[in-house]
């Protein structure tokens, strides 16, 4: 079972910052998840929300800022344990830290309603810009149109399905959508990660990863029911990196 550092070691450092990714590497992480956006001047950056309300307490959207302005803003203001200055990093800066130790990388592309036209081409170009990166990468998105555009542009790219408001009742339609785009992974919320649901998804041919698992008892339960990976803010959740696989 993969232990996937969710936005880096985000229980111990501000999420999706260079500090969080550096710490995850020090903790032994070899699988990582992060969120990709695009600035007004077309740079790929890593941050979870479309705006900075939560992380920086500033009512501004990433899409409306050039990176020269974005990088001046402290996105650690929300993190009580350490609110010292951390900026939104560029995607290539994150890769400089995690690419070498990584065996698996989840690029979650935030593009609801195609707010970042052309981001698919930029992400694909980035994945192909470094030897071996494309092979390590899985691209996910809550926006189905984004996944469809990725598939149209690259038949070989590994995609993961993510569903808004997914429930057990909606699982079958979601699996059909995931098959339609040729996804290899299916990422689901912990609240739905029961043995029967996991078995259904795996029987349909997908690898199952569950978010966000921050209690050791839940991590052990996920391993026991056959989950392929867990997204966690605690890369040390099991204290045994031999469980990677």
Q: Radius of gyration (Cα) for the chain, nearest Å?
A: 17
**∠ at Cα 106 (102, 109), nearest 5°?**
140
Tokens at 38, concatenated: 């695009």
Residues belonging to the active site = 6, 48
Tokens at 107, concatenated: 């690029």
190 in Cβ contact with 215 (< 8 Å): no
Alpha-carbon distance values, 90 to 68, 144, 191, 222 (Å): 11, 25, 32, 33
Tokens at 200, concatenated: 């259904």
Alpha-carbon distance values, 172 to 29, 42, 167, 176 (Å): 33, 37, 10, 6
Q: Count other C-beta atoms under 10 Å from residue 208's C-beta.
A: 23
Displacement of CA 142 from its chain's centroid (Å): 11
Q: Is the dihedral of CA 120, 65, 78, 95 positive or negative?
A: positive
């Amino acid at each position: 079972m993969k232990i996937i550092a969710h936005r880096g070691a985000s229980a111990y450092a501000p999420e999706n910052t260079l500090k969080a990714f550096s710490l995850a590497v020090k903790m032994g992480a070899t699988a990582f998840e992060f969120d990709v956006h695009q600035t007004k001047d077309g740079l790929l950056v890593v941050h979870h929300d479309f705006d900075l309300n939560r992380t920086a307490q500033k009512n501004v959207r990433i899409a409306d800022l050039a990176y020269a302005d974005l990088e001046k803003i402290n996105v650690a203001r929300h993190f009580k344990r350490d609110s010292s200055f951390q900026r939104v990093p560029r995607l290539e800066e994150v890769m400089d830290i995690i690419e070498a130790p990584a065996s698996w990388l989840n690029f979650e592309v935030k593009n609801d309603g195609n707010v970042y036209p052309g981001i698919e081409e930029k992400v694909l170009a980035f994945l192909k810009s470094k030897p071996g990166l494309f092979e390590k990468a899985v691209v996910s998105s809550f926006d189905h149109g984004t996944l469809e555009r990725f598939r149209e542009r690259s038949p070989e790219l590994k995609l993961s399905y993510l569903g808004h408001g997914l429930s057990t009742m909606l699982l079958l339609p979601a699996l059909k959508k995931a098959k339609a785009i040729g996804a290899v992974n299916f990422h689901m919320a912990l609240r739905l990660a029961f043995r029967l649901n996991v078995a259904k998804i795996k029987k349909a041919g997908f690898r199952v990863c569950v978010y966000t698992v921050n209690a050791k008892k839940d991590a052990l339960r996920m391993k026991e029911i056959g989950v392929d990976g867990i997204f966690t803010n605690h890369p040390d959740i099991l204290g045994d990196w031999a469980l990677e696989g």
